[in-house]
Amino acid sequence: MKITRLAEGISIRRTVAEGTGEQLKAVQEIIRKVRQQGDEALFQYTAKWDGAELKDLRVSQQEIADAVANFDPQLLEDLKEAAENIRGYHESQKQQGYKLEHSNGSYVAQRVSAIESAGLYVPGGTAAYPSSVLMNVIPAQVAGVQRIVLVSPPQKDGRLSDGVLAAAHILGIQEVYKVGGAQAIAALAYGTESIAPVDKITGPGNVFVALAKREVNGDVAIDMIAGPSEIAVLADDTAYADEVAADLLSQAEHDPMASAVLLTVSEKLARETAEEVERQLETLPRHSIARAAIADHGVIYLGETVDELVKSANQLAPEHLEIMMEDAEAVAEKVVHAGAIFIGRYSSEPVGDYFAGTNHVLPTNSTARFSSALSVYDFIKRTSVIHYSEQAWSENEAKIARLARLEGLEGHARAVESRSWKKENQR
Amino acid sequence: MKITRLAEGISIRRTVAEGTGEQLKAVQEIIRKVRQQGDEALFQYTAKWDGAELKDLRVSQQEIADAVANFDPQLLEDLKEAAENIRGYHESQKQQGYKLEHSNGSYVAQRVSAIESAGLYVPGGTAAYPSSVLMNVIPAQVAGVQRIVLVSPPQKDGRLSDGVLAAAHILGIQEVYKVGGAQAIAALAYGTESIAPVDKITGPGNVFVALAKREVNGDVAIDMIAGPSEIAVLADDTAYADEVAADLLSQAEHDPMASAVLLTVSEKLARETAEEVERQLETLPRHSIARAAIADHGVIYLGETVDELVKSANQLAPEHLEIMMEDAEAVAEKVVHAGAIFIGRYSSEPVGDYFAGTNHVLPTNSTARFSSALSVYDFIKRTSVIHYSEQAWSENEAKIARLARLEGLEGHARAVESRSWKKENQR
């Protein structure tokens, strides 16, 4: 892992897989076909790309029961405990509406309500993560979303992974479909005979899924399109190089495009961490992915002062920021841009990925400057309510009409004034 | 205005101007050139499209003072009062963070902070609405955004409208630039010599502005891309046809693509409203726009029951919904999908556009099913904070490692376990 002086500046990476023009055309064709042919198109695409000949898209209750029975009971307990923690954290995000009443009899209010339905995309194969099911479904449930649907591409034998179904079972999700790719996104957005459309689609996916989400965006809501995983570690001499290295590799193993950065004032830690990364890579199962990530997007920055480190961390606005320093909490107070901050030696990043309760769907690619973790707020909407009494209207009618005419909108002015037309005409 | 039976169903319109391929190419070229050439490109485009030869992009304090001096003092007072109402409504949207502490010494928390900078696009010409300045800037100010920038295309004489500058002055906004179109969006997103980049861009604009916002989305945040204005009125025999008609026309005058719908159980009101719309169109200054909107997207639906009306209103999920019925408040309780609800005879839609305090930037095109008015929430971000104590870690280490291995992420498991390596090795 290369070590460089922070004074020379950090480069902020901006790379989001956008797909090629050909991929986009393919996705548009898939969406068109699903809208026209419904389930028939889903069956065809699933046979073609997943190699599964299905009779039913929907996972039966028996299949879910079987998956749970197959699943390691200890892991089921672990998932349940994680789900409880996640629910606990997200419960505090519930929002209330408000109402402001005025003495003239008018009021303005904000109502908060859940969106009605949400669909979660779960990737197939080795990326079928039960933890993603928890992280996407629980905020929707806490928000009060009535209908929550899961879609995931089947294996060749026509089944979904036990872990995903076990996670769905724990959360009480019963509507699960065996369909993936752009066709699954099209089905969620526009509906087919088997799958009723949803209002919002969340969850990670490959480039076809990402392109399809962009295409349907606006007809339904989508979550952000996540980029490769990122970790930055702020550390001083109190940190242990083997732990820092292990944490850096935990993100590097996600994706060759993942980034892993150490920011430190300690030359010793910098040198030892670089060595530890090499040493640990030797026995890491996903070493080829992690090695590529470290080579291309792994840097150890040596700074002069802690303030300089913090400034750089804010510039990076990383998805995950760990602080392993003597006064970690005080340093954390100075960080304003990060998806999630992990404070202290024992707050290793996977603690947040799986268990602590915070959401692991986090802003990447410096977007933590302006965006946030997936949350209950993503599954609610707010409706403004306005009531003007006769008194409120008569006090303000002339002002509103003047403002409308200032903007050349005579019809607006007349609408407000129309309430007095009948008085003037002695009706 | 055509009258039709509700039993035959309502059609939900889905039309958002997406621009042509050629327009998109032009926009991409503009963005590329602004990124390369900075201010120079802005001056060139402004000369070409706005016909204004500028020496400075930034509006001087003298220009702002002159605009305020030119501006009708009564209107200045009206704008100030509107601004106070808007600020009052949005103050209740301020969010607090939270922290959940556990007995094992761990905690999870959510921090709330404002984004650092925001740029508001204000269209030129007759669409340079001072009310838009209030509606976009005030939520950002209440959120605590430190730097708020306005951009707007200049008139041929190189000036911006007095109304826009007066609104900026009222709000204390001093950073205003004379630049419009896609080039303004590019400047806000990537910065030039004169204009430092912002984190979020909001505000309405033409198709070039909308395309440019889509292009820069992800590098900066953008607000929703608004469609044409919409109004639906739920009314019974207690409503007055002339008032209903005036309110329908207030939205129809915005855009030939605007929609204006009356849902009623009263045949008399339906018939009289149709007549009133025709009558009022005759003297409306923007009659050609409004007439086109009414012809193409204006419908009076006659229903059998109030429940049927409400169901249809929820299906429409209109931007603005007026309820002029005997028990308007009770009916309003049953509406779940609308951008804003106006309750009772005196709550004419322009009351919300200008004055009541709610935001007039509202979801169109049925997106009220899943999205909301512009608000303080759009200018904040949330950071998750995780602290695990040694005890919390040792209680949960094994569970987290098991969950990571379930997902095939050995590096994650090792990261969590790395905290015990030294104990095992007697370091």
Question: For A234-271, how does the pLDDT look when each residue is reduced to its tens digit (9 = 90+)?
Answer: 999 999 999 999 999 999 999 999 999 999 999 999 99
CATH number for the domain formed by residue range(s) B21-222 = 3.40.50.1980
| HSE-up (13 A, CA, CB side) for residue A359 | 27
Mean pLDDT of B311-332: 96
Q: How far apart are CA A27 and CA A39, in angstroms?
A: 17
Give me the residue from B249, B337, B385 closest to A411, CB to CB.
B249
pLDDT in tens, A161-189: 999 999 999 999 999 999 999 999 999 99
Average pLDDT over chain A, rounded to an integer? 95
Query: What distance in Å separates residue A5's CA from the closest CA in chain B?
Result: 26
Residue numbers in A near B370 (CB within 8 A): 115, 199-200, 220-221, 381
Helix (H/G/I), strand (E/B), else coil: B67: helix
Residue A390 has pLDDT above 70, yes or no: yes
Residue A425 has pLDDT above 70, yes or no: no
Beta bridge partners of B101: B107
Q: What is the pLDDT of residue A114?
A: 97
pLDDT in tens, B327-368: 999 999 999 999 999 999 999 999 999 999 999 999 999 999
Q: Which residues contact B241 (CB under 8 A, 6 or more apart)?
A: B269, B272, B273, B275, B276
pLDDT level of residue B422 (50, 70, 90 thresholds): confident
Q: How far apart are CA A119 and CA A187, in angstroms?
A: 10
- To the query of whether residue B193 is one of the catalytic residues in this protein, the response is no
pLDDT in tens, B69-115: 999 999 999 999 999 999 999 999 999 999 999 999 999 999 999 99
pLDDT level of residue A126 (50, 70, 90 thresholds): confident
Residue numbers in A near B116 (CB within 8 A): 336, 369
* List B230, B320, B322, B360, catalytic entry: B320
Mean pLDDT of A205-225: 92
- Is A249 within 8 Å of A279 (Cβ atoms)? no
The topology (CATH level 3) of A228-370 is: Rossmann fold (3.40.50)
Catalytically active residues of A are 319-320
Nearest CA in chain B to A125: B407
Query: What distance in Å separates residue B407's CA from the closest CA in chain A?
Result: 6
Mean pLDDT of B150-174: 96
pLDDT level of residue A38 (50, 70, 90 thresholds): very high
pLDDT level of residue A424 (50, 70, 90 thresholds): low
More confident residue, A427 or A222: A222
pLDDT level of residue B427 (50, 70, 90 thresholds): very low
Beta bridge partners of B168: none
- To the query of whether residue B320 is one of the catalytic residues in this protein, the response is yes
**Torsion sign, CA atoms A267, A270, A272, A275:** negative
pLDDT in tens, A310-330: 999 999 999 999 999 999 999
Q: How far apart are CA A135 and CA A146, in angstroms?
A: 17
Residue B184 has pLDDT above 80, yes or no: yes
- Is A238 within 8 Å of A274 (Cβ atoms)? no
Residue A367 has pLDDT above 60, yes or no: yes
Nearest CA in chain A to B118: A370
The β-bridge relationship of strands B380-387 and A298-302 is: unpaired
CATH architecture for the domain at B2-13+227-356: 3-Layer(aba) Sandwich (3.40)
Percent of chain A having pLDDT more than 90? 92
Which is nearest to B221 in space by CA: B94, B337, B117? B117
Are both A21-222 and A228-370 of the same fold? yes
A107 labelled as ligand-binding?
no
Q: How far apart are CA B175 and CA B135, in angstroms?
A: 17
Domain residue spans of chain A: 21-222, 228-370, 388-424
Q: What is the pLDDT of residue A12?
A: 57
Helix (H/G/I), strand (E/B), else coil: B102: coil
Q: What is the pLDDT of residue A303?
A: 96
